[in-house]
Structure 1
Amino acid sequence: MTSESSNAPWPSLEPVKLEGEELQRVNAWWRAANYLSIGQIYLLRNPLLREPLSRDDIKPRLLGHWGTTPGLNFVYAHLNRIIQQREQATLYIAGPGHGGPGMVANAYLEGTYSEVYAPIQQNEEGLRRLFRQFSFPGGIPSHHAPETPGSIHEGGELGYSLSHAYGAAFDNPDLLVACVIGDGEAETGPLATSWHSNKFLNAAEDGVVLPILHLNGYKIANPTVLARIPEDELLDLMRGYGHNPHLVSGGFDGEDPLLVHQRMAETLDEVLNEIAEIKRQAREGTLDGTARWPMIILRTPKGWTCPAEIDGLPVQNTWRAHQVPLANARDTEAHTRILEDWLKKYKPEELFDDAGALVPFVAELAPAGDLRMSATPFANGGLLRRELDLPDFRDFGVEVPSPGATEDSATKVLGDWLAQVIVKNPDNFRIFGPDETASNRLQGVYAATDKQWNSAIWPIDEHLARAGRVMEVLSEHQCEGWLEGYLLTGRHGLFNCYEAFIHIIDSMANQHAKWLKVSNEIPWRRSISSLNYLLSSHVWRQDHNGFSHQDPGFIDHMVNKKADVVRVYLPIDANTLLSTYDHCLRSVDYMNVVVAGKQPAPNWLTMPEAVAHCTRGLGIWDWAGTETPGTEPDVVLACAGDVPTLEALAAASILREHLPNLAVRVVNVIDLMRLQSESEHPHGLSDSEFNTIFTTTKPVVFAYHGYPTLIHRLTYRRAGHANIHVRGYNEEGTTTTPFDMVMLNSLDRFHLVIDVLDRVPGLAVRAASLRQQMQDARMRARAYTRAHGEDSPEVTGWQWAGTDGRGAVLAASRVEDTGGDNV
């Protein structure tokens, strides 16, 4: 009996005891999934044991993880029951993704696997192919990988399942995300923090995450912490996290699995009704305080149903069941018989017909169509993705009457545009960040939204609301995980972060890049929105926080990933940042790394110029150089990044003033990957284009935002690589002034001029006086900071003076030398 229609969202159903045929069907599904899982780990052929098992039927290399798999299969079978009863859209996330054989097995049982992989049909030959491909050369990985229908979470690296689950639930009000968390995974820092994600879930506008903490007691070689603490402490821990925990335990000491099935079914019915009541109250506006969402603690034996003992050693319910319990199944006849007996205990003859297809009695547990967890479009987010309705970024551009004539905070200007992105996309776009949205000068978004916060709100708080489009929590892991889950289920977003601390999610970025790389090669996977980083508070303007906050190396980390996936952009002012981010939010299947300053800085390009420059990715700035048309330059002064561009232009201005006959070409790079060869990156320049811009024989002095070695890595194949000299961050930093920071790393304008003098043949001797002036200027600048605690007017007052010869006048107002260290 129902208290609400069963086809309405989140119905409340009167619990009915699981018994009779329905109980047998759930158990038979579980047996079938376990059988297929073991078959994948062990068997090459003879998939239904129609002949006595022989050593030749067994794979020579046994790979995979059995220990967690029966628990994952157990949960899957029970979720299928409630999906059918409640017509509930459900996404399954397996934290222990190394239980991949189970997820593949369930996708096969539901028929989805045969739909997307035509050679693997539901017959005996299809089973043989299913078994053979698993962890086999030319086959599929052992994890819940992109190749697995229904997966958005590989789980090869542990710790991110619950944050992915919440990311999937945001803005999907009718979606249940069942997230199985392994007790080993629960020991990781990211997972321990992700329990707090429930404080950011809006009961009315978001979906529901059902955490299922699976305690099977062991990791690969040790017991797990949460499985060994007293039960009352564990329950109190979950209550402290804001959940209402439900405990299901069973399968130990030979207990009949049917009894455990009944307890699990009863618990799931209770949990789903709790959820339905929270959802009802949220819809009606009667929810009192913060929702206390239910969760399940499932305690079952490690490797449940495998042999209790092998070679005199206990296996089931020990760490020995974690991977391959019978590691030498083909080395002796006795071991082969153990495997055969183990497989036969699931009674495959009752589960599969003479042709090898799943018998109808068991197959009836599979939900219909897209309600199958292996076929849900939420696990193939490109099927649900809607293009963003983006406001015209040109309308938000800043006026630039001449290069450097105006100043703006680039990210502040971007924030005003993002506010309108939010207005136009109220349920399809979110901004994620670790308590730094305003710090990174994106506070303009608060004109359109608040920060989502579903815990206590006090009168003194600002911009907190039960529903908001900005997600802030002081954990880069959660921000990354939420955004990945949000993107993988078809939506859009960006992650803004301090540049130095984005390194915290290096490994998560690795995993997502690998996911994209593989997904792009799978025909049935649809394109998802790109993962967009906005890194501000960057290395050159972290002078107030000091050395600990100064690290531009995330760019290097990402450039190591597959070229088809990674893009790196270094916009140099407000207009180029607007153009860049419009492009990024329209793109798919990439990881876009954008580094931009937040402090007021010169605007160099008008909006039409910015669009053209960003489209090219790099280009010659004729207005900044002094080369004569039709002749070669004497030197190329290149730059990438806002501060390096400022210093390079200041250096060009000095050279224009003091060496007007020196032909200087100024090249600015926005798209860093343009430096690579076209054979190595889709954005790469051809050799002929590169040689035309940078020449093959002239010195190139390159002012770069990050570690200098990266520019050499990107250009090492170029004909003129030996002529390229790079200045960038050399791991020198402290709490100091902005200009002192660039001087510490020899990226300052004066040092760039010295580099030009030293590298243009014969120039060092002819311009020895200028070289000495540059050295003196550095000493004056250093001395001024030591005396006054700020940069000298000689530096802060500099502006680009155009092409009329009015460059920087070094000695116009000399600053008294007040002493200080030599640079």
Structure 2
Amino acid sequence: MEAEIIDNDLEILSPEMVRKMNAYWRAANYLSVGQIYLYDNPLLKEPLKLDHVKPLVVGHWGTTPGQNFIYVHLNRIIKKYDLDMFYISGPGHGGPAIVGNVYLEGSWSDIYPNVTQDEAGLKKLFKQFSFPGGISSHVAPTTPGSIHEGGELGYSLSHAFGAAFDNPGLIVACVVGDGEAETGPLATAWHSNKFLNPVTDGAVLPILHLNGYKISNPTILARIEHEELDQFYRGCGWTPYFVEGDDPETMHILMAEAVEKAVVEILEIQSGSSGTTGRPRWPMIILRSPKGWTGPKEVDGVPNEGTFNSHQVPILVDADHPQHVQQLENWMRSYKPEELFDENGALLAELKELAPTGDRRMGSNPHTNGGMLLHNLHMPDFRNHAVDVVVPGGIMGQDTMVLGNFIRDITKANQSEHNFRVFGPDETISNLLGAVFEVTNRQWEARQETNDQFLAPRGEVLDSMLSEHQCQGWLEGYLLTGRHGIFNSYEAFIRIVDSMFSQHAKWLKVTSELPWRRDIASLNYLLASHVWQQDHNGFTHQDPGFMDHVINKKADIVRVYLPPDANCLLSIMDHCLRSRHYVNVVVAGKHALPQWLDMQSAIIHCTEGIGIWQWASNDQDGKPDVVMACAGDTPTLELLAAVSILREHLPELKIRVVNVVDLMKLQSESEHPHGMSDLDYDSIFTKNKHIIFNFHGYPWLIHRLTYRRANRNLHVRGYKEEGTITTPFDLRVQNEIDRFNLVIDVIDRLPELGSKGAYLKQQLKDKLIEHKIYVNQHGKDMPEILNWKWIAG
């Protein structure tokens, strides 16, 4: 590579290299404009006509030329230092830039060989963009080299750090849009540098792209003074290098110097030769360039380049604006395509050589197709942690505490592989997974003090940042680059990442349809401190609605599990951590509750996902009078307590008890891969008997999952947005999932129970009043509630 070396050992590009890099940038800009506008005539070998323009022009230009500029400079530094680097495009709509660049480097044609490196290939490249049957206008799963969807505004830097953890030698170049930088997840993500270990992790090189505008408003960071911006990022622990201007030749030289400085600093930090002690200050680049750089200066007398008017399509070209065809042609010809492509439409060889080759191309970096690097976890036998259940309900246990021992063993078994981590927003110990700290620590690079707990520069737990956004983004980046993990959170607070989950689920859906994309490890949520355990946190901590949100996504992707006890939780989590390309949501409690199934029974029950608990039922000799169903640990407890009351006071009543672990079993087999056939559903729930269903979440979710079933006698009890600071049982009473209300519901549905039912109903109404008086007086539940145990009939 042609270059001059100056005294400070930083490379200054020779005039010839500036010429070549500027030409490459022009080629990328030309391809970007062509993708937005052109249907035909890709090399402008004839005068542009309206027929050559797409009938519907859709796309975003404003961020594109800046990202093209960044890409060519990253190519240069990759070649010089033989870097293992890939590119994350954070701005919402950088599609034309990244697609154009991976085409120029050859990665696109490797994946899509029908899009050839010639005029015919250019025509296909242009036509497919924002066109029916083609590709989207932003960076998407279809884009080689991408692990970040353009619609995921705000998560780019989190994904970058997740990719860098446990990836020494990898540099993730993360371009952050200045509009994106205003989002909560991104603003918080700047502090991820307090968790990056320079020896065992890779590096993240943030490039903040200040082009001044969002859709129609200025951006905050572009409108504060240079000194304030510099102070802000230094205050966040970064060393910012500024590249500012609009003259291409000057900007190439400034950008080359900044990238050189940043990469040299990263390599020195990683090698230990930087001379610094303590937490390093990682470099970042702040690129200030005009929005819509090199685009039309004005359109119809209205300023365009450098304004928000260049955000989307700068020039409207259609049948109503035929006069704009010539302006579009002038714009495209300003890039001088005849100097960039040969007669056949291939990029000139002297420009082609500026790009890296093979896996060093950012569009072909193996980390961006993480399933290629994925190895199975070493999974210890979860049976080693089984709770010894001799009789159902005969022993108490804390489900997530039992699971914590299993997670500890998984962590230890995979430490040499560096491919498993536990993520969570300061809740690992609160959710009773603290056993993991017997074998690892929390990773932490900031200052430590005497009374800190489990903090170390290296650890498999990332839970020291109180941000669900960061934990989700880190885990996604970790999974997308070929590793495994689990996210533990309070059930109510997982709602903070609703949109992040949605985008990841969409990514999984689309990539599952791309044969060149390899499956990645599943995204596993463990939701504890759930809605029924908030006797001290209260109303704000009660929200089981994440399940409702998850179930909206494609059935091929989502799974929801509600294990009723610790042995079931162990079996389910073993399954989830072995799975691929799903989102698994597991809801489990941490407070002491009765344990129902021995390990062998739990494995069978969880494998089936749903089943009749014969030991709790008494309808074996005939048809049931009522079906009592439950899903979730607390609803299971209350339902079994209700069954015990019914069996004691109404022994002639035939009751079938059904427990649901895999919530998707309730759907039809035509709606979900785990769904049951109508025949199997009816054999469990009957075609016409009343079903009293005690559910962990909002009742309407069960109705929604079963709406196609023949039996319409379904009565669901669940969370009804009632209750604040109170006792555990009183919370159940207020939402009417308690044993007394369940029994009353059965009596109301079965008038044939007659006087015996009426008298029992009165007793239970009296009991509810007694309960209320007792808790208000004593501040705890009645002894008969606290000491209740299942006794087999």
Shorter-chain TM-score bucket reads over 0.9
Q: Which residue of 2 aligns with 1:646?
A: 637
Shift of 1:287: 5.0
Superposition map of 1:360-379 within 5 A: 360-379=349-368
Instruction: Give the letter aligned to residue 694 of structure 1.
Output: F
Are 1:616 and 2:608 matched, yes or no?
yes
Alignment partner for residue 136 of structure 1, among 127, 131, 135?
Answer: 131
Shift of 1:23: 2.2
Instruction: Give the letter aligned to residue 634 of structure 2.
Output: V
Alignment partner for residue 655 of structure 1, among 646, 654, 679?
Answer: 646
Counterparts of 1:684 and 1:563 in 2: how far apart (Å)?
10
Q: Which residue of 2 aligns with 1:155?
A: 150
Q: Which residue of 2 aligns with 1:710?
A: 701
Q: Which residue of 2 aligns with 1:196?
A: 191
Alignment partner for residue 736 of structure 1, among 721, 726, 732?
Answer: 726
Counterparts of 2:735 and 2:755 in 1: how far apart (Å)?
25
Alignment partner for residue 405 of structure 1, among 394, 398, 401?
Answer: 394
The more displaced of 142-151 and 17-26 is: 17-26
Superposition map of 1:467-506 within 5 A: 467-472=458-463, 473-506=465-498
Q: Which residue of 2 aligns with 1:314?
A: 303
Alignment partner for residue 771 of structure 1, among 761, 765, 775?
Answer: 761
Q: Which residue of 2 aligns with 1:514?
A: 506
Q: Which residue of 1 aligns with 2:204?
A: 209
Are 1:393 and 2:417 matched, yes or no?
no
Q: Which residue of 2 aligns with 1:566?
A: 558
Alignment partner for residue 547 of structure 2, among 541, 552, 555?
Answer: 555
Q: Deviations over 1:257-305 (max 9, x none)?
A: 12211110111111111111111118x9x75111100000000000000
Instruction: Give the letter aligned to residue 414 of structure 2.
Output: N
Counterparts of 1:654 and 1:234 in 2: how far apart (Å)?
68
Instruction: Give the letter aligned to residue 72 of structure 2.
Output: A
Alignment partner for residue 428 of structure 1, among 410, 416, 419?
Answer: 419
Counterparts of 1:674 and 1:273 in 2: how far apart (Å)?
55
Counterparts of 2:187 and 2:539 in 1: how far apart (Å)?
29
Contact kept, 8 Å, 1:330 with 1:336, in 2: the verdict is no
Q: Which residue of 1 aligns with 2:777?
A: 787
Counterparts of 1:110 and 1:183 in 2: how far apart (Å)?
27
Shift of 1:531: 0.4
Shift of 1:247: 0.4
Shift of 1:333: 4.1
Counterparts of 2:767 and 2:582 in 1: how far apart (Å)?
44
Contact kept, 8 Å, 2:316 with 2:324, in 1: the verdict is no
Q: Which residue of 2 aligns with 1:727?
A: 717
Shift of 1:766: 4.2
Q: Which residue of 1 aligns with 2:4?
A: none
Q: Which residue of 2 aligns with 1:26?
A: 21
| 1:31/1:765 CA distance change after superposition, 3 Å | farther
Superposition map of 1:236-385 within 5 A: 236-251=231-246, 255=247, 257-281=248-272, 287-328=276-317, 331-385=320-374
Counterparts of 2:15 and 2:657 in 1: how far apart (Å)?
80
Shift of 1:50: 0.6
Shift of 1:764: 4.9
Counterparts of 2:746 and 2:20 in 1: how far apart (Å)?
79
Counterparts of 1:594 and 1:309 in 2: how far apart (Å)?
55
Counterparts of 1:457 and 1:327 in 2: how far apart (Å)?
57
Counterparts of 2:9 and 2:229 in 1: how far apart (Å)?
29
| 1:330/1:109 CA distance change after superposition, 3 Å | farther
Are 1:585 and 2:577 matched, yes or no?
yes
Contact kept, 8 Å, 2:105 with 2:361, in 1: the verdict is yes
| 1:354/1:639 CA distance change after superposition, 3 Å | same
Counterparts of 2:9 and 2:576 in 1: how far apart (Å)?
49
Alignment partner for residue 796 of structure 1, among 778, 786, 791?
Answer: 786
Instruction: Give the letter aligned to residue 229 of structure 1.
Output: I
Q: Deviations over 1:631-681 (max 9, x none)?
A: 211110000000000001101111111111111000000000000000000
Contact kept, 8 Å, 1:80 with 1:365, in 2: the verdict is yes
Structure 1's unaligned 5+ residue stretches are 2-12, 804-823
Q: Which residue of 1 aligns with 2:593?
A: 601
Contact kept, 8 Å, 2:650 with 2:756, in 1: the verdict is no
Report the TM-score when normalising by structure 1.
0.94
Contact kept, 8 Å, 1:135 with 1:142, in 2: the verdict is yes
Q: Which residue of 1 aligns with 2:668?
A: 677
Shift of 1:765: 4.4
Percent identity of paired positions between Structure 1 and Structure 2: 60
| 1:307/1:329 CA distance change after superposition, 3 Å | farther
Q: Deviations over 1:117-155 (max 9, x none)?
A: 122111111111111110011111111000000000012
Contact kept, 8 Å, 1:701 with 1:726, in 2: the verdict is yes
Shift of 1:329: 5.3
Counterparts of 1:576 and 1:507 in 2: how far apart (Å)?
29
Structure 2's unaligned 5+ residue stretches are 2-7
Q: Deviations over 1:434-471 (max 9, x none)?
A: 11110011111110111111000111111111111111
Superposition map of 1:160-175 within 5 A: 160-175=155-170
Contact kept, 8 Å, 2:92 with 2:180, in 1: the verdict is no
Q: Which residue of 1 aligns with 2:177?
A: 182
Counterparts of 1:340 and 1:330 in 2: how far apart (Å)?
16
Counterparts of 2:228 and 2:196 in 1: how far apart (Å)?
25
| 1:557/1:332 CA distance change after superposition, 3 Å | closer
Counterparts of 2:678 and 2:84 in 1: how far apart (Å)?
52
Contact kept, 8 Å, 2:172 with 2:205, in 1: the verdict is yes
Q: Deviations over 1:466-516 (max 9, x none)?
A: 111111110111110001000000000011110011000011111111111
Contact kept, 8 Å, 1:493 with 1:531, in 2: the verdict is yes
Give the secondary-structure state (helix, strand or coil) at the position aligned to 2:769: helix
Give the secondary-structure state (helix, strand or coil) at the position aligned to 1:756: helix
Counterparts of 2:388 and 2:316 in 1: how far apart (Å)?
70
Contact kept, 8 Å, 2:53 with 2:317, in 1: the verdict is no
Q: Which residue of 2 aligns with 1:818?
A: none
Shift of 1:628: 2.6
Counterparts of 1:119 and 1:491 in 2: how far apart (Å)?
32
Shift of 1:22: 2.5
Q: Which residue of 2 aligns with 1:91?
A: 86
Give the secondary-structure state (helix, strand or coil) at the position aligned to 1:602: strand
Counterparts of 1:332 and 1:281 in 2: how far apart (Å)?
60
Give the secondary-structure state (helix, strand or coil) at the position aligned to 1:222: coil
Contact kept, 8 Å, 1:150 with 1:376, in 2: the verdict is yes
Q: Which residue of 2 aligns with 1:438?
A: 429
Q: Which residue of 2 aligns with 1:5?
A: none
Contact kept, 8 Å, 1:155 with 1:161, in 2: the verdict is no
Counterparts of 1:152 and 1:701 in 2: how far apart (Å)?
45
Counterparts of 1:270 and 1:560 in 2: how far apart (Å)?
47
Are 1:668 and 2:656 matched, yes or no?
no
Give the secondary-structure state (helix, strand or coil) at the position aligned to 1:227: coil
Instruction: Give the letter aligned to residue 220 of structure 1.
Output: I
Q: Which residue of 2 aligns with 1:61?
A: 56
| 1:518/1:764 CA distance change after superposition, 3 Å | farther
